[in-house]
Structure 1
Amino acid sequence: MNAPLLDIESARYFLAVAQAQSISAAAVSLGTVQSNVSNRIAQLEGSIGVALLRRHNRGVGLTSAGEALLPHCRELLRLSASAVASVQQVAGGRPELRIGAFHTATASLVPRVLSGFIRENRGVRLTVRAGTTEEIRACLNEGDIDCAFLPGAAVDGTMMVQARFNEQLGWVAKTGTVRPGGRPLMQVLAGLPLYSVRRGALYEASVRLLFQDAGVTPAMPLFQEAGSAEILREMLALGGCFTLAGRSVFAAEVEAGVLEFHAVPGQSPRLQPVLVGVRGRTLPEVPALFVRYAKARAAQPS
């Protein structure tokens, strides 16, 4: 008897459920109805002959069999995407570079690195995905992107760090918000809302840790979403809020005196951006060329 085959759609549905830990949430992300997802998972479990999900009152979790299947689903989808990209590249005659980056990096670091690479490698078809750290990490694992810019704290054992960038990180607010000779900086910031382009678990954890290290408890709910770097820039200029970002993101406004920048003292590598790929995954020619270029850029004095 032939062994059951794992098809692409079943792998896609299973991966969506595993990530969302909810049948209904997976249905939304897949653009279908809950019954379709349930039926697809039931068919997959019936084909393999084991239970893959464990139901509980908060949603679903993976059984040990489901945990074993998960990396194979990711690899199957990655290979499928790679096959399609290879065919399209041959048909279109243009090599492709797919980059992912967390939101703060897309405002300054990524454009700086990519602009020089594209100038030297004209004709490359470029795709850039921006999102929270968690979203970009998922895209990398699933093979939707070749490599990614992430904060150092997001790196795990599945990733290979290709380049480390030295970005000065600090608190940014309207000039005059923090009065010289007044209360300590962190106490002033504790009474203001913090805005970011998008809320992300790792970003929030980093901010809370910095307040904790300073021995300060924020006096109000910190995190709000601006939605875009442009809106965030305008909100900071209007005053009444602050953000945590690399100095280069708002360098022009800081130089013009519109915003003030206060560097985070003793920054650890966990807050610095890195370029990563999936450990053990061989990159196509153009992404591999980009990695070498990024390494050379990261080694240059900022």
Structure 2
Amino acid sequence: MDISLLQTFRSAAESGSISKAAQMLNYAQSNVTAKIKQLEAELQTPLFYRHNRGITLTPAGQTLLTYAEQVLRLLDEARKAVRDTDSPAGPLSVGSMETAAAVRLPAFLANYHRQYPNVDLILKTGPTEELIEAVLSYALEGAFVAGPVRHPELMQERVVEERLVMVTAASQTSTTSADLARTRAILVFRGGCTYRAVLKHWLLEEGIVPVKIMEFGNLDAILGCVAAGLGVSLLPESLAASKASAEGLIRIHAIPERHRTVETVFIYRKDAYYSPAFQAFVAAFKTHSF
């Protein structure tokens, strides 16, 4: 089976359109149509339903897409393995929770870059669930997430244990964290964030119904709104303490001990190809003091 047929098929399946697939691949539309027909003839089954909105995978097409993605991924890994030298270089894509990226990673990433300047490091931030899915789908080579993570296809390395605290505006008078959660708006990251899940579990346990839950896309927005008195949030103490002491805009409040700790772990696939850049990255964070 011709690899170019699989590449064309995957592009058409992902875009849901022959014309969009042609644009992605820089092909003529007729060329994409011909390649798909050639593949269907070779497999003796239709791979797409054609309709006025574009194309949709048939059951056979859905099955083939799974295998096509595996074949193309393995081919890409083979190219990397052949090109790689013993010296770490080239692209490296990893992910991290925003809080870890803000506090735990800057010094480590700076040291890694100084040691391996030929590595093109890409860091993507997001909530834990989103990052786990990205690693599972090979979109990221690894990620710093809240743990523990138990999945048969993943390895995990413990990085650090975080203590969670409630943060409020500096002007907030002293009171219990439960009272604060009961009377203030709760500011959280989007769904999939472990800190949000911990907060939700704690509030359910206390029988607290928040007056309002407000969702934010990044850490700076949450901190800015907390400092302005819009509401309260649950964040790692290491981050909150640095902001409280440096800017004096937020106040820290303890939460119940049973909900106070969460691990940060680094996850990666068991079956992925580990480039020299990735191997050096893992070795470096194992010896780094976070």
Q: Does 1:240 align with 2:235?
A: no
Name stretches of at least 5 consecutive residues in structure 1 with no aligned partner.
Answer: 18-22, 54-59
Secondary structure of the residue aligned to 1:218 is coil
Counterpart of 1:165 in 2: which secondary structure?
Answer: strand
RMSD across aligned C-alpha pairs, in angstroms?
4.0
Is contact 2:166–2:177 with CA below 8 Å preserved after alignment?
no
Q: Displacement of 1:146 after TM fit?
A: 1.7
How far off is 1:137 after superposition? 2.6
Q: Could you report, residue by residue, the CA deviation over 1:93-130 in whole angstroms, capped at 9, with x for unpaired residues? A: 94332211233322222323312222333332211112
Q: Could you report, residue by residue, the CA deviation over 1:132-179 in whole angstroms, capped at 9, with x for unpaired residues?
A: 3343233322323221111215542221002332122222221242x3
**2:103 and 2:238 in contact (8 A); partners too:** yes
Choose from 138, 155, 179 the match for 1:160: 155
CA distance in 2, matches of 1:253, 1:296: 27
- Preserved CA contact (<8 Å) 1:133 1:154: no
Q: Does 1:212 align with 2:165?
A: no
The gaps in structure 2 that reach 5 residues or longer are: 49-55
Change (3 A) 1:285 1:240: same
Contact kept? 1:172, 1:242, Cα under 8 Å? yes
Q: Distance in 2 between matches of 1:259 and 1:61?
A: 52
Whether the 8 Å CA contact 2:93–2:123 is kept in 1: the answer is yes
Residue 75 of structure 1: SS of its match in structure 2? helix
- Contact (CA 8 Å) 1:199, 1:223: kept in 2 or not? no
Equivalent pairs counted in the alignment come to 266
Paired residue secondary structure (1:180): coil
Q: 2:251 aligns with which of 237, 254, 260?
A: 260
* AA of the residue aligned to 2:160: F
Alignment-derived partner of residue 180 in structure 1: 174
- Decide whether the 8 Å contact of 1:77 with 1:142 is kept in 2: no
CA distance, structure 2, for counterparts of residue 176 and residue 228 of structure 1: 23
Partner secondary structure for residue 283 of structure 2: helix
TM-score, structure 2 normalization: 0.71
What does residue 57 of structure 1 align with?
Answer: none
Bigger CA radius of gyration: 2
1:1-302 matches, within 5 Å, as: 7-11=6-10, 14=13, 16=14, 66=62, 72-79=67-74, 81-82=76-77, 94-152=89-147, 155-177=150-172, 179-181=173-175, 184-196=176-188, 198-203=189-194, 204-220=196-212, 222-225=213-216, 227-256=217-246, 257-264=248-255, 265-267=257-259, 271-297=262-288, 300=289
**Paired residue for 1:20?**
none
Sequence identity percentage: 20
In structure 1, the residue matched to 2:51 is none
Give, in angstroms, the shift of residue 212 of structure 1: 1.6
Per-residue CA distance 1:183-220 (angstroms, 9 max, x = gap): x3123223322334x41234443331121233322232
Structure 1: how far apart are the matches of 2:283 and 2:234? 29
Give the direction of change, closer, same or farther, for the CA distance of 1:65–1:191 in structure 2 (3 Å limit): farther
CA distance in 2: counterparts of 1:102 and 1:64, whole angstroms: 37
SS of 1:127's equivalent?
strand
Q: Whole-Å Cα distance in 2 between the matches of residues 246 and 49 of structure 1? A: 57
Q: Distance in 1 between matches of 2:274 and 2:206?
A: 42
3-state DSSP class of the match of 1:235? Answer: helix
8 Å CA contact retained: 1:108, 1:248: yes
Asked if the contact 1:77/1:143 (under 8 Å) is kept, the reply is no
